[in-house]
Structure 1
Amino acid sequence: MTRVLVLGGTGWLSSRIAASWVARGARVTCLARGGRPAPAGAALVVADRSHPDAYRDVAGEDWDEVVDVSSDPRAVAASVAALGDRVAHGTYVSSLSVYADHDQVGADETAALAEPLRPGEEYDYAKAKSAAELALTALAPRTAIVRPGLIVGPGDPTDRFGYWPARFAAAGEGPVLVPDAAGLSAQVIDVDDLADFIVAAGARAFDGVVNAIGPSSPLGEMLDLVRTVAGHTGDVRAADADWLARHGVLHWAGPRSLPLWLPADVPGFATRDGSAYRAAGGRIRPLVETVERTLADERERGIARARAAGLERSDELALLEAMSAGH
C-alpha cells in the first residue's frame, strides 16, 4: 500500500490532497496542529512544526510520498532533515508569488526567483517560498515543485474569487461596482484541478517544476462571465484606479478591496505561462464550470455573509452614490 504523509492535510487545499490520496487507496497520515479533523480515512498526527520533536511520530516510517504546503521555510527545512532519508518522493506546493518580479508578460518557470528569506529577516511571502524551495534541493531529484497562482473554487476561505459570483447574485437587479478593467488580466486555477494534479504527479514520482495556472484572461471578460452565470441584470459601474485609491478601495484581497483587481505596474502577475503544467498532465477545466461550482458553494454558505475580501454591500452602495454625485 502507498504510504503518504501530508504535512498539513486539514486546510482547504491540503485536505483535498489527502482525500484524493485516500480515494486512490493510499494509507494517508496528516501532520497538523489540530483543531480541524483530517479527511475521512486519513490518520491525524497532532504536532506543532515549530517544535524540535514535531516529526517524532512519523520519522521512523518510510514514506512513498510526502506533500508539504508550508510557507515557513524553517518548517520545510526541518521536515527535510527529519524525513529526507525515508522519503521516496516529495511534492512542495509553492506559489507564483515566488518569482523576483512580475514585469514580464508570459514568463515561465525559468524566471528568476525572489532572494531566499534569511534567518532573522522580516518575513516576506515570496522570499519565504523561495527559501522553502531551496530547502527541497536536498531531496532532488525526488521532488516536484508546484507553483499555483490564484486558487479558486468551492470552500475558498480567502473570498478572493467567490466575492464576485456572490456579489453579482446578491445584487440581482441592483448596481455593482467593478474596477476599470482596461488592459488588466486575471488568471486562476480550480482547487480540485490543482489537488488532482498534485496527487497524480506524486503517484508517478514526477520530478520537475511547473506553474500550475490556467490561461490568462482579460479581467473584464472574466467578470462578464461571472456576471452572466450569476444572472445579474443590474448596472455595472466601473471606477478607475485613481478614483478607487482616493476612496480607500484596495487591490486584490482583504477587507474593503475589489478582488482580482491588480495594479497596472505588475503586468506579468496574471499572465504566467502554464504550458509546462498542462504538458505534465495538469487539467484546466472550463472557467464557466469553476464559476458555477463556486456560485453553488457561495449560495450554500450564504451570498450575503461577512467576507474576508471585498466590499460590504452598504459600503459599495455608498461608493456608487459618491460616484454618481461626482465625488
Structure 2
Amino acid sequence: METDDFKKNFPTTLLQTGHDILFPWVVRMVMMSLELTGRLPFTEVYLHAIIRNADECKMSQTLGNVINPLDFIHDISLEKLQEGFKSSKEDYPDGQYINLNKFCAEPSRDFCNDLFLTGTETPCDLWILSRLSYAIEQCESGFKKYQFSQITTAIYNFWLPELNDIYIEYVKKDFYADKPNLEQQNRQNTIKLILYTCLNNGLRLTTPIMPYLSEELYQRLPKPNNGQNSSPSLCITPYPQSSEFNQYHNKTIEKDVATITDAIDKINSYYSTPGVPRHEPVTLYIKSSSSISTLFKEYFELIKSLTNIDNIQIINDEPTVDQKEYIHIATTSDYRLFFKLTDDLE
C-alpha cells in the first residue's frame, strides 16, 4: 500500500549522479522500480563530473589518495567548497572530471562571508527589483539547460556587486535619522518590504547551490508582519519563477544605472591615485548633452553615496588649459568629467 509521502515524492523527475556508476547503480534502480511499481523512478539523468585530486587521479581508498573533507572544512567549509566546484571553469578539463584543489574554493569562501553579512543591511530601488528579475530568469534558464556556470554567475552578480556594493550603500542614508518623521518612516517601511523581497528570493535562488548557508540565513531573515511567503524552511519553498517577476524588469532603468555606475567607477579610480585624499569633498563638473546631464542630476544621491562628490555642476564649455584648478577625470562618447581641485589637492 502506497503511503501519502510515497505518492507525493515518487516518481521524481531528475537523478543526479556520476557516470562511473551508471550501469552498476542507475540501471538497477530503474529495473527495481519497474519490477516493484511498474513506473520509472525518474525521466532524466544528469551525469555530473567526477572529483579527482590535484594530480588528476580518481580518488580511491586503494590508492590512498582520498582527500579528507575535514582538511577543507577547517579553512574553507563544505558549503564554500561546493560553490568553488561549480564555478571554477579551469578545473573542468573536459566536463567529466574535477581536479580538487584547496585554493579553488577560497574565492567562494570570501563570497559566502559577504553574503552572510548582507542580511544586516537594507537595500532598495526599482533597479534592484529589475536585477532580481534578471537573476531569476538566468537561473531558470540555466537549470533547464544544465548550465551551472550561468546560474552561479547570476547569483553572484545579484548578491555582491548589485545588492551589496551598490544598493546597500545607497539606502544607508534613509536610516540615519534618530527620530524619523512620518515621511521617513514610510520610506523606511518601503525599503524593508523591497529588501525582504530581494533577500527572500535571493536565498531561494541560492538554495540549490548552497543549501546549508541559505537555510541558516533564511531562518535569520525577519518575516513581514503579515506573514507573506513565510515558509518554515527553504526546503519546502517554491523556487522563484521568472513569470512572477517580469513586471519588475525595466531595461531603461538598467541602462541608466549602468551609465551612472560606469562613471562612479571612473571617479573612484581617480581617488585610488596615490596622494589623493579620499575624504576631501569635491565638485563634479560635467560636459555633456542635456539628456546625460539630466541623468546625472537624477542619480546624484547614488553618486554621492558611492563616491565623495558633494556637488554636481553642468558646464557648457570645457575648462581651458589656463584653468589649472580643474583636472580631467574621464571621457566617453556621452560625457566628460572634471574635478575642481581644492587648495589641498592642488
Provide the TM-score with structure 2 as the length reference.
0.23
Rg larger for: 2
Give the structure with the larger strand fraction.
1
| TM-score normalized with structure 1 length | 0.24
| Structure with greater helix percent | 2
